[in-house]
C-alpha cells in the first residue's frame, strides 16, 4: 500500500483575487476576473487578460518586502500564495521538519528583463535584475522570504509546470524524501509571452469560450498557487486535518509538435488514463473534470476527443475555469488544483463561462454550473503544456 498524500494547505493569487475566500466567492458568483489590460505595459490592449488586480508596489507593501530588495512580479505573487498555504497548514519556522519547495515557472523574472533589457546591455544600474531573471532565482527568492525550506527546486514545462511540480511533490512525500512539500507555480504576465502567444495567433479578442464551437483562442492570465502536501499517516503528529488527498497523477508526452496538440489527443488520453491507474480508479469514479480547456481551436478539440475516448458515454461534468482566471500558463496547474480542491470541499461544480454553441465534434458540452450542491468524490484536473507536455492530477475527498 503506497503512502497516501494529503493536502493540508492551499494558497492562491489570481485574477479572481488574493486568497481562497476571494476565489471561492468569485467562482460561486460566476464573476470572471478577465478584463481589459491594466497593469501590463503593452500596446496590445485589444486582448482581455486575467491580471492579478494588485500592482507590484501594493504586493510589496502587503508582504512587507524591505525597500532595497529587487523583486519580480512572479516572486511577489508566489510569496503571497505560499504564505497563505503555509498558514493554513500550520507549517512554521523551527518545526524541525524537512520542508521542500517545488515551484513551476517559465517566465521567471522576464517582466524585469524586458523592462530593463537595454540597461542590462549598456550599464550597471539594473544588474540586480540580471540575477533575478532565471526561473531558479524566482523560486529561491520565494524560499528565502520564509527561510524554512531545506530543498528548493524549479520545474519548467510551460503550461503544465505547476501540475508537474505538484506531481513531483506527491512522489517526494510518498517516498519519504521530504516531510512536507509546498508545490505549485507562479507566473506573471509579460509582454514576452503575450506577444509570443499573439504570433501563434491563439489569443481571443473577446472573453475566451472554452469548448464552444465558435471559440477563437485563449485569454492570458497570471497568478500563483501552491498546495502543502504531506503523508496522510503522519498528520496526527502535527495535529492538522487533511483538506483532500492527491490520489493519482501522471505526466505523459504527446510527442507530436512543439506548440500544437495531436488531433486525437493521444498525450491527453494517456495522462488521464495513467492518473486513473495510479489512483486505482475507473473513469466512472470521476465526479468532475477541471479541463485544461484553453479556448483554442486546437486544445479543446484534442482534449475533448481524449475525454470522449476515455469516458465514452459516461463523461462526467466538465468545465474550464480559465473562463474565470484566464490562462495563467505555468501557474495554471496550481490555480486549477486549488479550484479543484475548493470544488471538492464545498461540493460544487465551477461553471464554464461564455459557452453558447456545442462543438459538433464532441458528444458532451461543458457544465454551466448551478447553485445546487454537487457532492464530489474525485476531481480530475488537466494541465497541458507546449511540447505536448500533458499532466493529470486526481484530487479525492478524504
Catalytic residue positions, numbered: 159, 292, 327
Give the x/- contact pattern for other proteins in 283-322, rule: CB under 8 A.
----------------------------------------
Quick check: 257 binds other proteins (CB under 8 A)? yes
First to last CA, the chain: 16
The answer to whether residues 102 and 183 touch, using CB atoms and an 8 Å cutoff, is yes
The answer to whether residues 355 and 239 touch, using CB atoms and an 8 Å cutoff, is no
Quick check: 386 binds other proteins (CB under 8 A)? yes
Alpha-carbon distance of 271 to 280, in angstroms, equals 14
H helix runs in the chain, sequence order:
20-28, 56-63, 73-89, 110-122, 127-130, 135-146, 161-174, 191-199, 235-238, 266-279, 297-311, 322-325, 332-346
Stretch that binds other proteins, among 26-34, 135-143, 222-230, 320-328 (CB under 8 A): 135-143
Alpha-carbon distance of 85 to 23, in angstroms, equals 14
Based on CB atoms, which residue is closest to other proteins, 251 or 319? Answer: 251
Which of 84, 140, 187, 336 is the binder for other proteins (CB under 8 A)? 140
Q: Which three cell numbers stand for residue 217?
A: 483562442
Which of 3, 308, 345, 365 is the binder for other proteins (CB under 8 A)? 3
Size of the site for other proteins (CB under 8 A): 67
Based on CB atoms, which residue is closest to other proteins, 175 or 233? Answer: 175
Based on CB atoms, which residue is closest to other proteins, 25 or 123? Answer: 123
Burial of 151: CB neighbours in 10 Å, binned 0-12, 13-18, 19+? middle
* Closest residue by Cα to residue 188 from 2, 355, 391, 14: 14
SS3 (DSSP) at 185: strand
Alpha-carbon distance of 126 to 128, in angstroms, equals 5
Bridging pattern class, strands 244-253 and 389-396:
antiparallel
In the complex, the smallest distance separating the C-beta of residue 330 from other proteins, rounded to whole angstroms, is 10
In the complex, the smallest distance separating the C-beta of residue 17 from other proteins, rounded to whole angstroms, is 29
Instruction: Using alpha carbons, list the distances in angstroms from residue 87 to 8, 96, 309.
Output: 10, 17, 41
Quick check: 253 binds other proteins (CB under 8 A)? yes
Stretch that binds other proteins, among 8-16, 21-29, 113-121, 313-321 (CB under 8 A): 113-121
SS3 (DSSP) at 303: helix
Based on CB atoms, which residue is closest to other proteins, 55 or 117? Answer: 117
Residues in 114-133 that interact with other proteins by CB under 8 A: 114, 117-118, 120-121, 124, 127, 130-131
- Radius of gyration of the chain, Cα coordinates, nearest whole angstrom: 20
In the complex, the smallest distance separating the C-beta of residue 37 from other proteins, rounded to whole angstroms, is 12
Which of 24, 166, 168, 289 is the binder for other proteins (CB under 8 A)? 168
Which of 22, 42, 97, 235 is the binder for other proteins (CB under 8 A)? 42
Which of 57, 87, 175, 241 is the binder for other proteins (CB under 8 A)? 175
The distance from CA 253 to its chain's CA centroid, rounded to whole angstroms, is 18
Give the x/- contact pattern for other proteins in 82-111, rule: CB under 8 A.
------------------------x---x-
The answer to whether residues 96 and 151 touch, using CB atoms and an 8 Å cutoff, is no
The answer to whether residues 222 and 50 touch, using CB atoms and an 8 Å cutoff, is yes
Which of 22, 35, 171, 207 is the binder for other proteins (CB under 8 A)? 171
Q: Which three cell numbers stand for residue 38?
A: 491594466
Give the x/- contact pattern for other proteins in 233-252, rule: CB under 8 A.
------------------xx
Based on CB atoms, which residue is closest to other proteins, 21 or 117? Answer: 117
- Interface residues with other proteins (CB under 8 A)? 2-3, 42-44, 106, 110, 113-114, 117-118, 120-121, 124, 127, 130-131, 134-137, 139-140, 143, 149-158, 164, 168, 171-172, 174-177, 191-193, 195-196, 198-200, 251-259, 266-267, 270, 385-389
Amino acid at each position: 500500500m503506497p503512502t497516501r498524500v494529503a493536502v493540508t494547505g492551499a494558497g492562491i493569487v489570481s485574477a479572481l483575487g488574493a486568497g481562497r475566500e476571494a476565489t471561492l466567492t468569485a467562482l460561486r458568483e460566476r464573476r470572471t476576473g478577465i478584463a481589459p489590460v491594466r497593469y501590463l505595459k503593452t500596446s496590445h490592449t485589444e486582448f482581455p487578460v486575467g491580471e492579478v488586480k494588485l500592482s507590484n508596489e501594493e504586493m510589496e507593501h502587503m508582504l512587507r518586502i524591505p525597500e532595497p530588495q529587487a523583486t519580480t512580479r512572479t516572486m511577489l505573487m508566489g510569496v503571497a500564495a505560499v504564505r497563505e498555504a503555509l498558514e493554513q497548514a500550520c507549517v512554521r519556522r523551527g518545526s524541525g521538519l524537512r520542508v521542500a519547495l517545488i515551484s513551476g515557472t517559465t517566465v521567471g523574472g522576464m517582466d524585469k528583463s524586458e523592462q530593463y533589457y537595454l540597461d542590462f546591455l549598456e550599464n550597471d544600474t539594473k544588474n540586480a535584475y540580471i540575477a533575478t531573471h532565471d526561473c531558479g532565482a524566482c523560486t529561491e527568492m520565494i524560499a528565502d522570504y520564509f527561510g524554512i525550506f531545506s530543498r528548493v527546486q524549479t520545474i519548467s514545462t510551460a503550461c503544465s509546470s505547476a501540475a508537474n511540480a505538484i506531481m513531483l511533490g506527491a512522489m517526494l512525500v510518498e517516498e519519504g524524501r521530504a516531510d512536507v512539500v509546498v508545490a505549485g507555480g507562479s507566473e506573471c504576465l509579460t509582454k514576452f509571452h503575450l506577444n509570443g502567444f499573439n504570433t501563434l495567433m491563439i489569443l481571443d479578442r473577446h472573453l475566451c469560450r472554452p469548448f464552444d464551437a465558435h471559440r477563437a483562442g485563449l485569454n492570458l492570465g497570471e497568478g500563483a498557487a501552491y498546495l502543502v502536501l504531506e503523508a496522510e499517516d503522519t498528520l496526527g503528529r502535527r495535529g492538522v486535518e487533511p483538506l483532500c488527498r492527491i490520489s493519482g497523477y501522471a505526466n505523459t508526452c504527446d510527442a507530436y509538435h512543439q506548440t500544437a496538440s495531436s488531433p486525437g489527443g493521444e498525450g491527453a488520453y494517456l495522462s488521464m488514463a495513467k492518473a486513473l491507474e495510479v489512483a486505482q480508479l475507473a473513469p466512472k469514479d470521476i465526479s468532475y473534470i477541471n479541463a485544461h480547456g484553453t479556448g483554442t481551436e486546437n486544445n479543446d478539440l484534442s482534449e475533448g476527443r481524449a475525454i470522449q475516448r476515455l469516458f465514452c458515454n459516461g463523461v462526467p461534468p466538465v468545465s474550464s475555469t480559465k473562463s474565470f482566471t484566464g490562462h495563467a500558463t505555468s501557474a495554471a496547474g496550481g490555480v486549477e488544483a486549488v479550484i479543484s480542491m475548493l470544488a471538492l470541499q464545498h461540493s460544487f461544480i465551477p461553471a464554464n463561462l461564455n459557452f453558447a454553441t456545442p462543438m459538433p465534434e464532441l458528444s458532451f458540452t461543458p457544465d454551466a454550473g448551478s447553485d445546487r450542491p454537487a457532492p464530489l468524490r474525485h476531481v480530475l484536473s488537466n494541465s497541458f503544456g507546449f511540447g505536448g507536455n500533458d499532466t493529470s492530477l486526481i484530487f479525492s475527498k478524504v
